[in-house]
Each structure stands twice: as C-alpha cells, then as structure tokens.
Structure 1
Amino acid sequence: MSRSAAILLAAGSGRRMRGSVSDKVLAPLAQRPVFTYSAAAFAASGVADYYAVVYRDRQQLTALAAHAPTPSVLVKGGRTRQDSVMNALAALPSDIEFVFIHDCARPLIQPDQLRALHKIVRRESAVILAHRVADTVKERRDGDRFRTLKRDALWAAETPQVFSRELIVRAYQRVADRELLVTDDAAAVELLKHPIAILENTQPAPKLTTPADLAWLEYLLTRSPIA
C-alpha cells in the first residue's frame, strides 16, 4: 500500500509583515497559531502517513514541535524556499510514494480538498490547488509597452502541490543541476515537461503575506471554520 507524506513549510522570513508579528506562522489567528490550521486540516483528512515540518530557527522549532502532527520529523529550512523543500524531501522515509508540499501561511486549506488532491495525484502524478484569475493581467514588454494576457488561460497557483515522490525529487535535481530559482514546486516539475493537473479552488484562500491579511483571514475563518 502506497504511503504519502506532507511537507509543511514554516520557515519563511515574513518580511512583508513589516514587523507586525514576530513569526507569521505562529501569529494568533482566531486565538490559534496560524500553523495549527494547516496541521489540523491534514490530520482530519487522513491523507498523510508522515510529516516533515520545516522550521526557520531554534526558537521557532520549539513552538512548532508542540503543534506538529505525528509522526513527523522537524527539518531545518534552507536559504531559499526550494532549498527548504529539498531538505525536507531528503528527510522522508524511503517508502513514501506521494508528497504534499504546503505553505503553512495558507491556513484555509480544507480536509476535503486534501482528499481530492490525494485521489488525483495517484492517477496523474502531479496536481496543484489553484484558482482562476479574475483580474485583467498586463504583461510589461519594452519600455512602457504592455500586452494584455488572455484571462481565461490564467490560473493563480496555491498550495498544497502534490507529486509522486520520484517525480518531484527528479524535478528538483534538475533545478539544482541548472542552478535555477523557482517560485513553486510545479515550476520545477514543468522543467521535465510533465503535465500538471489542477484542482480548482472556488473559495477565497489568501496567503498570509501582509498585516492586513490577518483580519481578512480571521473573517473567512468565522464564515467557514476549519477543524
């Protein structure tokens, strides 16, 4: 029987919070640390047999250890997001076949979405949660020239992003070999020309990025509480 793991990323610097909180994944959100919402959603979904929790420093390690799902390993984050993911991949048990990679600054993930992603990845080997872009997007060309992109073809990537372990390890090896910088895990897999399925998220699920996001996230949580 195949086993799955979840990499829970919590090592981000949070610079855009502008010092409003000391650690955004441990900031109080509806009286609970932000990190606990992702941990609880994964636990409720039953999709992961093992967890790798990626931390930033020793102070954060102590706090995250108290809230980490079990069984889990705590992994020191790297200089960049992709370094943190690669560190976590290397720490997983050898029998893990599928890997969820989730940014814990996205606390509105739902157990039913996790179960749907798990089902899709076993068929497609690569799937991401994403939402359709509602804005008209302009691409800056030369100087002050712009091009309007076709909105119907645009998706905003979220997390979790889920892959077969063999595929995501091979993708990040390609990234390392070419000394590239990627902003999400799907971008690494795209280098292998492997198709990536999308599970559409039709509900607002913002990432905690700026101080104003805390109030917006708390409002959304009161409308749709997570276990």
Structure 2
Amino acid sequence: MNPPSPSATAILLAGGSGTRMGEAIPDKMLLPICGKPVLRYSIEAFASCETVDSIIVVYRDDAQKTSVEPLIPVDAFRRVEWVQGGERRQDSVWSGLSKLSSDCDVVLIHDGARPFIDPETIDTVAKASRGSGAACVARKVTDTIKQAKSSESGYTLKTISRSNLWAMETPQGFQMPVIVEGYRSTIESGLLVTDDLSAIEATNLPVSLIEIDAPNPKLTTPRDVLLFEFLFNRRSEG
C-alpha cells in the first residue's frame, strides 16, 4: 500500500510593497500578464495540487484583499484563511503561520510574484518536505560569482566557488513544527531573514532541494513584464 500523500497548507504571500515596480504599477500582484493577474497563476497552481487542501492568503491592505478575493476558487480548498501582512517579508510569513490549524501537517510558503510554479512541482516539494523536514525549489548557480571589496580606485575581486552555490526559489516546504519553531526563534532573536530556509539554518536540518528545468523567476521590476509575457506565450505553445 502506498503511503498517504501529505495534506499541506499553502501560505501565499501577496502583500509585498513592490517598490521596485515604481509608482506606475501600484500592485504587481494584480498586474495582468497575458490577460490574467500575476497572483492568479499561483492560486490556480495550488488549487490544482493533489497535496494542498488549505490556503492562507497574506494580503497588504483591505483594498488589495477586496481585489484578490474573487481570484480564490474557494471550492478548491477545504479551508481558506486571510491575514494582513507585516512590514517585512518575515513578519508576513509569521502572520501566516499564526493562522495554521492544529492539524496542519506540511506548510508550503510561496511568493505570489512567482507565477510560473506548476502543480507537479508543488506536490514534489510537499512530499519531500514531509520526508526530510524541509524542501525547496532551487537552481544551481551557473554564473561566475565574485566578492567585491570597494576601494578608492575601484573594486578588488575574489572569485567564489560556485560548485556548492544554489539560488533559492519558492515554494519552500516544511513540517509544521519545524518552520513554526524556526520563525519563533528568528522573531525572538531579532534576526533578519530574506527566505524561509534561513529561519531554520541554525538547526542544521538537511534540506531536499528540488531542481526544475522550467523558469521560475520573480516579478520584481517593470522590465520583467515583457519577459514574463514571452515565457507564458512559449509555455502555452508547448
């Protein structure tokens, strides 16, 4: 008999300020890409998963929540929760974690600004995180990376070996007690983290890295829009 699939809760981060998008784009989560709001792509991917049965949407303000609510197919989830985010990403994640139900098994944390994620990858992360405690979509660093030290005449450079370097993406998945305790310790210690795995690094817990071939970029600046439309058009063409 096959083991049961993990029943996961997704925390979808939609409340970022998006300051690098500029004043012309007040909310990148609602920016239409190929006729569909950016956030809707992630919502549809999680709604189509075998493993995700609940979702917690972390929103920025009441106006954004009103715009996002119609995007959620409530019949696709056993439970839908809403919570307002905080000033920093880690504050928003902590707000999302506070809404987890006591029977939660696996937690998947995803940046809504990464619309290229697919249901199969989400399921893979959920199952891997149940087995190892933590899992993440990631990609190997292929560029030459240098450490640059500023001086009056320029920079002195030092090449960093890329053999063990990975760029972290989302979703990042965890057994519920692992990530809750990790973030509790992070918040209490006053540490600043920019991704969720950083909150558990002190535990030295081995992490499953899920490498995927398909692009999974994050919408950050206005110049990303044309790239995203190009990538979505290519995906729709097969």
Tell me the TM-score normalised to structure 2 length: 0.91
Deviations 1:22-42 (A, max 9, x none): 200110011010010000011
Is 2:214 the partner of 1:203? Answer: yes
Query: Who is 2:45 aligned against?
Result: 41
2: distance between equivalents of 1:141 and 1:157?
Answer: 24
- Aligned match of 1:127 in 118, 121, 135? 135
1: distance between equivalents of 2:236 and 2:59?
Answer: 26
Q: Percent identity?
A: 41
Query: Who is 1:23 aligned against?
Result: 27
CA contact (8 A) 1:65 1:74 kept: no
Query: Who is 1:189 aligned against?
Result: 200
Deviations 1:155-209 (A, max 9, x none): 1110000001100001001101210000000011112221211000222221100
Secondary structure of the corresponding residue to residue 68 of structure 2: helix
Range with bigger deviation, 157-166 or 64-73: 64-73
Q: Give the AA of the match of 1:170.
A: E
* RMSD (Å), alpha carbons: 1.5
Secondary structure of the corresponding residue to residue 157 of structure 1: strand
Q: Give the AA of the match of 1:8.
A: L
Is 2:96 the partner of 1:85? Answer: no
Query: Who is 1:98 aligned against?
Result: 106
Secondary structure of the corresponding residue to residue 41 of structure 1: helix
CA contact (8 A) 1:10 1:105 kept: yes
CA contact (8 A) 1:7 1:54 kept: yes
Is 2:229 the partner of 1:218? Answer: yes
Structure 2 unaligned spans of 5+: none
Q: Give the AA of the match of 1:129.
A: V
Range with bigger deviation, 146-155 or 122-131: 146-155
Structure 1 unaligned spans of 5+: none
- Aligned match of 1:140 in 139, 142, 148? 148
Query: Who is 2:80 aligned against?
Result: 72
Tell me the TM-score normalised to structure 1 length: 0.95
Higher gyration radius (CA): 2
2: distance between equivalents of 1:50 and 1:126?
Answer: 19
Is 2:213 the partner of 1:170? Answer: no
2: distance between equivalents of 1:198 and 1:94?
Answer: 27
Range with bigger deviation, 66-75 or 46-55: 66-75
Q: How many residues of Structure 1 are paired with residues of Structure 2 in the alignment?
A: 226
1: distance between equivalents of 2:34 and 2:54?
Answer: 27
Residue 141 of structure 1: how far off its partner (Å): 4.1
2: distance between equivalents of 1:208 and 1:20?
Answer: 15
Residue 3 of structure 1: how far off its partner (Å): 2.8
